[in-house]
Amino acid sequence: CCDIRSLEVEDKVISPEKAEEAKLKARYPNLGHKPGGSDLLRKRLQKGQKYFDSGDYNMAKAKIKNKQLPTAAPEKTEITGDHIPTPQDLPQRKPSLVASKLAG
């Protein structure tokens, strides 16, 4: 319900949500204009992706062809770009051999 006073200050009263939005846009001016849209959803769908696609793989292969093949094992943390991952390089994820502490 409106009374005259609240109508007068309407322009100045911003909902807490809009105030938070203004804060966010001030910190990240380049934030996408499609809120909650494709970018966020696609990030969600790609969860678990360890390496980029074969395009990345072929680019890296082309670069390395011109260099000497490294003899030492590449650092495990370099996983994209210049580094071609091989099954041997992948950190072996073993299942927990320890029983759950809930059962302890």
Among positions 53, 69, 72, 75, the unique one binding other proteins when judged by CB under 8 A: 53
Task: Give the three-state DSSP class for 84.
Answer: coil
Q: Which stretch binds other proteins (CB under 8 A): 1-9, 65-73, 94-102?
A: 94-102
Determine the Cα–Cα distance for residues 58 and 66; give it in Å rounded to an integer. Answer: 13
15 binds other proteins (CB under 8 A): yes
Among positions 6, 35, 63, 69, the unique one binding other proteins when judged by CB under 8 A: 35
Among positions 2, 16, 65, 73, the unique one binding other proteins when judged by CB under 8 A: 16
The answer to whether the CB of 22 falls within 8 A of the CB of 31 is: no
Tokens, residue 5: 């006073």
- Residue 83: Cβ within 10 Å count: 19
Tokens, residue 12: 């100045």
Query: What residue ranges bind other proteins (CB under 8 A)?
Result: 15-21, 23-25, 27, 31, 35-38, 40-42, 44-45, 47-53, 85, 87, 90, 93-96, 98-104
